[in-house]
Amino acid sequence: MHYLNDFPSRAQLDITLAENVSALLQSAIAKKGKASIAVSGGSTPKGFFSALSKKHLDWKKVTITLADERWVDINSDASNTRLVHENLLQNNAASAKFFHLKQGEELCEETLEDLNIAANNTLLPLDVLILGMGEDGHTASLFPCSDQIKQGLDTANPNALMKVEPTTAPHQRITFSYACLKQSKNIFLHICGDSKKQVLDKALSSKDIFEMPIRAFLYDENTDSQVYWAE
């Protein structure tokens, strides 16, 4: 199920989301000695990243990763890893650990197997998940256009991480599967602008998850997704 939270400005959204996420991470650290968070790329989360990076918590016990990543060089403008390093792994958060999804040159089965083992051993299930949403209703790299979408949305998928080849977007991708992401203890969908609100409204008008994969999170009765939106 989903809960919509409207904010009067993007700045207020960023501040509130950073406050809530830092409290959740600190709570996880207090309970089990460590915390994990997966974030999404794009320009929308930059303000949130900046606000979160300044929060006072035991960042050495936090592992940050991405919900998905393009299989590009870390120095590429298309790299979400670069985005996170330049905007989130700063200030107080500079001491956090980062779990790289893009490791090596080729996204082969052996690489995926190693990454799946490492993810399961170090950060799953996630304490906090921050999702974004594309104009086509994709989230993470669960693209409705891809041949891998059924696998990606399969709740019985045993793999935490998988390869995706979108046909309507550039670059090969690595993404966490829906089966993995839905196990996250706290899920947020962070969107801004009128166009994204229209996409959200469309997503809420039907339950066909293969047309708009974000619906899997919005309608799952066993998953509470907090939607944070500002114009």
Task: Give tens-digit pLDDT for 68-97.
Answer: 999 999 999 999 999 999 999 999 999 999
Mean pLDDT of the 166-184 span? 96
Give the pLDDT score at 115.
97
Q: Could you tell me which residues come within 8 angstroms of residue 139 by beta carbon, excluding any fewer than 6 positions away? A: 40, 67, 131, 132, 133, 189, 213, 214, 217
Asked if residue 104 has pLDDT above 90, the reply is: no
pLDDT tier for residue 62 given thresholds of 50, 70 and 90: very high
Domain contains 87? yes
- pLDDT above 70 covers a percentage of the chain that reads 100
Q: Report yes or no on 155 lying in a domain.
A: no
Contact between 167 and 190 under an 8 Å Cβ cutoff? The reply is: no
Is 176 domain-assigned? no
Distance CA 97, CA 196 (A): 31
Mean pLDDT of 190-199: 98
Chain mean pLDDT for the chain: 97
Q: Is the pLDDT of residue 24 over 90?
A: yes
Q: How far apart are CA 216 and CA 210, in angstroms?
A: 9
pLDDT for residue 140: 98
Ranges of beta strands (E only) in 73-217 are 97-98, 128-131, 161-164, 173-176, 187-192
Residue 171 resides in a domain: no
136-166 burial, b for 16+ CB within 10 Å, e for fewer?
Answer: bbbbbbbbbebebbebbbeeeeebbbbbbbb
Query: Is residue 149 in some structural domain?
Result: no
In the chain, the number of structural domains is 1
Domain that holds residue 215: 2-135+181-230
User: Residue 208 belongs to a domain with what CATH number?
Assistant: 3.40.50.1360
C-alpha of 67 from chain center: 4
Q: Residue 68 pairs with which residues in a beta bridge?
A: 175
User: Does residue 137 surpass a pLDDT of 90?
Assistant: yes
